[in-house]
Amino acid sequence: MMPESSVSFCPVPEEQQPLNEYEQLKESWLFNWAVQNPWQYARKLTWVWGLGWLIAGPIASTSFPFNKYPLHFALAAAGGALIFVVLLLLRLYSGWSYICDRLYRETVTYEESGWYDGQTWEKSTEILQRDRLVVTYQVKPVLQRLKKTFVFLAVFVALGSVTWVIV
């Protein structure tokens, strides 16, 4: 009988293995937005922002009627709609950073049948190297994209704030 290689033996259930969790996250409806091409990614975030106007617009119009304060109305509604984009980005970032952490760690915490029987498994060198390569070339670029989006939105908010003060 041939000895099992360290790569083939993994006591962690399939659905709790970090690489499988990464694949599931990458294929999920919401989290795959961050891995799409830049045009599709920006378009989806713009749609969320536009839909946010459906809620933020009427709220902004109560404080700043459009016919009296059109610029204040637009800035307030745009800022309010941006809250939905920021919440979405926070959710995306938390999911992707969780997977990054699971892949990067030397050990995997898992549950065999329920919350009460948690176990820890130390990754073999091969699996650890493979997982860290996935982090470096697949997950970190997604996290960088999300961080850049946060910076862009911060600049957008700063410009809106300056405009508000000037007007």
- Structural domain boundaries in the chain: 14-109+122-166
Listing DSSP states for the chain in one string gives: -PPPPTTT---S-GGGSHHHHHHHHHHSTTGGGGGS-HHHHHHHHHHHHHHHHHHHHHHHHHHS-TTT-HHHHHHHHHHHHHHHHHHHHHHHHHHHHHHHHHHHSSEEEEESSSGGGEEEEEPPHHHHHHHHHHIIIIIHHHHHHHHHHHHHHHHHHHHHHHHHHH-
The answer, yes or no, to whether residue 12 has pLDDT greater than 80, is: yes
Q: pLDDT tens, 101-148?
A: 999 999 999 887 766 678 889 999 999 999 999 999 999 999 999 999
Angle at 157 between CA 154 and CA 162, to 5 degrees: 125
Q: pLDDT tens, 13-38?
A: 899 999 999 999 999 999 999 999 99
